[in-house]
Structure 1
Amino acid sequence: MPNLKELRQAVSDLKTEGRKKFAELNALRAKASRTDADDADIAKLDGEINALEAKVAEAQAAVEAEEKRLDRERSFAPLGNEATEGRGRSAAGDFSSNEPNPALTYGFHDMAEFAMAVKQATPGGGNMVSVDQRLVGAGPTNVQTANGTDDGFMVPPMFRDGIWELVFDMEDIPSWVDDEPTSAREVKLLADESTPWGAGGIEVRWRSEGTQMTGSKAPPAAPRSVPLEPLYAFVTADEDLLEDAPRLANRLTNKAAIAINWKIGDSIIYGDGVQKPLGWMKSPAKIAVAKKAGQAAKTIVVENVLDMYTRLLTQPGDSPFWMANRDIVPQLVVMQIGVTPMWTPPVAGLKEAPGGFLLGLPIRWSEHAESLGTEGDLQLLSPKGYYMPKKASGIRFDTSIHLYFDYGLQAFRWTFRLGGQPHLSKPVQPAKGDTSKSHFVTLATRA
C-alpha cells in the first residue's frame, strides 16, 4: 500500500503533467490561423486534460483518506505530561513514539513537536537534562544520525519531504528550470554547447555507394564546476508562537517554504555566482537586446519584442515563456502590427487577465521582474537552459536540511545546499546568419 509521501507525489506528478497539457493547449488556441490538425490536437488535449482532472481528484481523495487514517491512529497514541515531563516523555524519563511510522518521523507527531525537542536539546534553548532521546538515536527504530552540532538536527524524512515539495511545487522559477538532485557538494556540469548545425565534432554525411565511411570524433565536453552553496532561513519564534503548535508548524513549513522559494528564484535570475548560484541576468550566456534609436524612456515598442523573439534559443523539450513585471501592461495591450494586436488575451477573456500570449508564447507575471524601463522588466526564457543541482530529500537521495535552534536570536534555522548556472557559457551562432541566440533574452535598459 502506498505511503502518504508516495500518494502526495502522485498528486504532484499528475498536476505537473496537467500544466504541460494546458501549456500545449493554450499555445494551439493562441494560433492566429489553425489547421484541421490543430483542431484535432486541441480536442485530443482537451480529452486528456479531462482524464487528468479525474485522476487528480482520485489521487487527492486517496491522500485525504490516508491522512484521516493516520489521524485516527494517532488519536490512540499515549500522551505524556507535557507541562512537566515534555511531550511524548513518560514520568520515568523515557521518550516514546506517538507516530505510527517512526522510521519517517523519528517518532515525532508533527513538525511543531520536533521543533520543540530541538529547542530543548540546544544549549541555551532549554534543560539539557531533558534531551528527547528520539533526537540522539536511543531507540532501534530511530534512524537519526545528526546531533546538536553547528549542522543542527536532521529533520525527519516525512517533514523535510513536505518542506522540499512545497518549495519546488510552487508555480515559480525553481520548478521551471532543469533541476537535478545530488548528494555531492559540487558537481561537474558537462556542458555540451554544440548545435546540430555547428562544428561540434560529430559530422553526418551521405554515403556514396562503394566508398569508405569517414569517421569523426566528438571532443569531450568541457567540464564546469557547479558548487552547491549553503542557504539558510531563520524563522523567528517568540514565546507566544512556541506555545501555539499549529502556528509554529505552519511557520516552519508553509511560510518557510514560500520564503525559500522566493530566495532561490531570485538567485537563479540575479545571483552573481559568489557563494550563490550564477543567475542568467549575470551570465555571459544572456543576450540583452538594445533599445531602438530615439526610443523614449520607460517604453516597450513592437520592434523590441520582435528583436527579442528572433534571439531565443529553445532548449529541447522546453516550454518557453515571457516573464514580465505588471508595470508593462499599459505598454503591452496597445501593441499592434498593422491592425493585429501582438498580445492575445487568455482564452476565457480578460476576466482571467493578466496573462495571455505575446507572439504565441505565454506571459508569466512575476515580482522577480524589474520595473518598466529597467533591463529585466520583460524577459524571454527557455528555463530548462538553466541547470540547478540541489541537495534534495527522497528515497534515494541524501538531504542536507537541518533544524537548529539559535538561542541568541530566538529563531529556528533551516540550512541546505543548492547551486546553479546556465547550461551555456555564451550565446550560440545560428545555422544561417550571424545573429546569436540564447535561452535567456532581455531588453536593455531604456532610461
Structure 2
Amino acid sequence: MKNLIELRKKLAAKQDEMRALIVTAQEEKRGFTDEEETKYTELEERAEELKKEIKLEERAQQLAMGGAATKRTIDDPLHESEFRDLGDIITTYRTKPNDPRLEEYREMAMKTSASGGIFVPPQFSAQLFEVSPDEAIVRPRAIVIPADETAPDADITFPALDQGSGSNMYGGVEVNWIGEGDEKPETDAKFKDLKLTPHEVAGHIVVTDKLLRNSKAVNAIVTKLFRGAISAAEDDAFLYGDGIARPTGAISSGATIAVNRGTANAIKYQDIVSMLAKAKLGGSLVWSASQSILPQLLTMRDEAGNLIFQPNANNAMSGILMGYPIRFSENSPILGSEGDLVLSDFGYYLIKDGAGIYIQASEHPLFKQNKTIIKAFWNVDGKPWLSQPLTLKNGYEISPFVKLDIPKP
C-alpha cells in the first residue's frame, strides 16, 4: 500500500507551485514567459498523474478494508474533505451540533483549557494566520515558535541576551585571538530568562441565521473578517502591548530607543535621519506609521530638495523610505504622538503560538433577532528578544526598535 498522505502532500506542493507562477505573472501584470509556460505545463501534467495515482490508491485501500471508506486522520492534508471549508464547519456546528463529524474536534477542545467550542482543523485555522508582510507588520517578520503538540499552552523559557552593565552586544561573549599553545580563555556569556506564556484572546462576529445557512457565504465573510481582525489585534499587541495578560509590545519595551522630534506635532527630515542612526542596521528593518503622517511624508524633502518618499503606484501607499519598506498601521498613534513613526527589525521579536483556533456559535443572546454570535479564540504570547538597547564596542547605543517621541526640553 502506498502512503496516501504523502501522495496528497506531493499533489498540494505541485498545486502551490502552479499557483505561485500565476500569482507572480498577475502581480507583474503580464502573461507567462516561455520558460514559465513550460514549467506550468510540466507541473499540470504531474498533478494530473498524482490525482490518478491517489484515486487508484483510495480504491485499493477501500477494497482492503472490505469496501469501507478510508478514514482520514487530523494530520491528513485532505482531512478537511469531510468539511468543505471553515464555513461548512461553522454551519454544521450551529445547525447540526450532534453531527458525528464534529465529535473529534469537540473532544480535542475538551482536552485543552479552551472554554467549550470545537477545535478548528489546521487546514482551516492556518488560513486565518497566513498573513503576508503586506497584511500584517509583526508576525510575518518575527521568530514564531509553534505550539507544542502535547502541551500547546505551556510556558516556554527562551534565552534573552543580557545587555546590562558590563555586557556587550553579544551578551558578554568575548572573542580572543589565540596563539599556538595558548590556553583558550573562558567566555562569560550573560543571559536572562525570557518566559513566554500564551494568553487567550477572542474575537466575535454577529451573522444572521439566514446567512448562516449558506456555508459558502459564511466561509468567505468569516475568513476575511476574522483574518483581518486577528492580524490587526496581534499587530497592536505585538507593537504596543503592556505585557499584562497580553504580549509585551516591542515599542513599549525597555529595548526601545526613543528619538525626540525637533518640532511638536510634526515629522521632519532630520527626525527620520536621527531614527535611522539609532537603528541596528544589517537586519530586516521596516517602518510602521500612522496614516495621519502622510501629508507631511509625501511632501518631505531632503537637504538637496529631493522628495524622500515616493509611494509604490502598484501597491497603494506602500513604498520605500530611506531604503526600508514602510507600512501604515491602523493602530499607530496620530501625528504628533509618541510612536506615530517606528523603525523595527522584528527578527528580534519572539512569538509563541498556543492552542487554537477554537470556534463557538451561539444564538441565545440574539435569539429573538434571528442572529448568531460566532466566536473564535486562540492563545498567543510575544516579547522582544532584548531587554534593553544594544551598546556597541565604542559605546554608541542602538536598538532594533526605534520610535519617534515628542519633543523633550
The TM-score range, normalised by the shorter chain, is 0.7 to 0.9
Q: CA RMSD in A?
A: 4.2
Alignment of 1:309 onto 2:276 = yes
* CA distance in structure 1 between the partners assigned to 2:19 and 2:141 by the alignment: 14
Q: Secondary structure at the match of 2:140?
A: helix
Compute the displacement of 1:277 (Å). Answer: 0.6
Aligned to 1:136: 103
Aligned to 1:206: 177
Aligned partner (choices 149, 156, 160) of residue 187 of structure 1:
156
Compute the displacement of 1:269 (Å). Answer: 1.0
Aligned to 1:90: none
Compute the displacement of 1:386 (Å). Answer: 1.2
**CA spacing shift, 1:253–1:101, aligned 2, 3 Å:** farther
Instruction: Answer whether contact 1:382 1:439 (CA < 8 A) is retained.
Output: yes
Instruction: Answer whether contact 1:334 1:341 (CA < 8 A) is retained.
Output: no
TM-score (normalised: structure 1): 0.68
Compute the displacement of 1:263 (Å). Answer: 0.8
Aligned to 2:380: 418
Q: Secondary structure at the match of 1:387?
A: strand
Equivalent runs, 1:282-293 vs 2, <5 Å: 282-292=252-262
Compute the displacement of 1:152 (Å). Answer: 1.5
**CA spacing shift, 1:333–1:367, aligned 2, 3 Å:** same
Compute the displacement of 1:203 (Å). Answer: 2.5
Which region of structure 1 is more displaced relative to structure 2, 254-263 or 179-188?
A: 179-188
**CA spacing shift, 1:279–1:197, aligned 2, 3 Å:** closer
Compute the displacement of 1:274 (Å). Answer: 0.9
Compute the displacement of 1:101 (Å). Answer: 8.6
Aligned to 1:299: 266
Alignment of 1:108 onto 2:83 = yes
Aligned to 1:230: 200
Q: Deviations over 1:229-275 (max 9, x none)?
A: 11112121221211222211113322211111111111111111111
Aligned partner (choices 389, 392, 398) of residue 437 of structure 1:
398
**Consecutive unaligned residues in structure 1, runs of 5 or more:** 23-45, 74-95, 123-130, 392-398
* CA distance in structure 2 between the partners assigned to 1:12 and 1:280 by the alignment: 35
**CA spacing shift, 1:400–1:291, aligned 2, 3 Å:** same
Aligned partner (choices 373, 391, 402) of residue 358 of structure 2:
402
Instruction: Answer whether contact 1:176 1:384 (CA < 8 A) is retained.
Output: yes
* CA distance in structure 1 between the partners assigned to 2:103 and 2:313 by the alignment: 57
Compute the displacement of 1:169 (Å). Answer: 8.4
Q: Deviations over 1:130-183 (max 9, x none)?
A: x1111225xxxx996445983311223322233333588835332122222122
* CA distance in structure 2 between the partners assigned to 1:284 and 1:223 by the alignment: 15
Compute the displacement of 1:198 (Å). Answer: 4.6
**CA spacing shift, 1:165–1:362, aligned 2, 3 Å:** closer
Compute the displacement of 1:7 (Å). Answer: 5.3
* CA distance in structure 2 between the partners assigned to 1:248 and 1:99 by the alignment: 27
Which region of structure 1 is more displaced relative to structure 2, 336-345 or 196-205?
A: 196-205
Equivalent runs, 1:27-426 vs 2, <5 Å: 54=36, 58=40, 104-105=79-80, 107-120=82-95, 131-137=98-104, 145-146=108-109, 150-165=115-130, 170-183=135-148, 184-185=152-153, 186-193=155-162, 198=169, 200-209=171-180, 211-219=181-189, 221-292=191-262, 295=263, 297-314=264-281, 318-341=283-306, 343-345=308-310, 354-391=317-354, 399-409=355-365, 410-426=372-388
Q: Deviations over 1:21-80 (max 9, x none)?
A: x9xxxxxxxxxxxxxxxxxxxxxxx9xxx99x949x949x86xx78xx89xx9xxxxxxx
Which region of structure 1 is more displaced relative to structure 2, 100-109 or 382-391?
A: 100-109
Q: Secondary structure at the match of 1:335?
A: coil
Instruction: Answer whether contact 1:168 1:261 (CA < 8 A) is retained.
Output: no
Instruction: Answer whether contact 2:169 2:390 (CA < 8 A) is retained.
Output: no
Compute the displacement of 1:408 (Å). Answer: 2.9
**CA spacing shift, 1:282–1:402, aligned 2, 3 Å:** same
Task: Give the residue type in structure 1 aligned to 2:197.
Answer: P
Q: How many residues are matched?
A: 360
TM-score (normalised: structure 2): 0.74
* CA distance in structure 2 between the partners assigned to 1:433 and 1:443 by the alignment: 22
**CA spacing shift, 1:327–1:110, aligned 2, 3 Å:** closer
Task: Give the residue type in structure 1 aligned to 2:405.
Answer: A
Instruction: Answer whether contact 1:304 1:443 (CA < 8 A) is retained.
Output: yes
Q: Secondary structure at the match of 1:136?
A: helix
**CA spacing shift, 1:403–1:199, aligned 2, 3 Å:** closer
**Consecutive unaligned residues in structure 2, runs of 5 or more:** 1-6, 56-67, 366-371
Compute the displacement of 1:188 (Å). Answer: 1.0
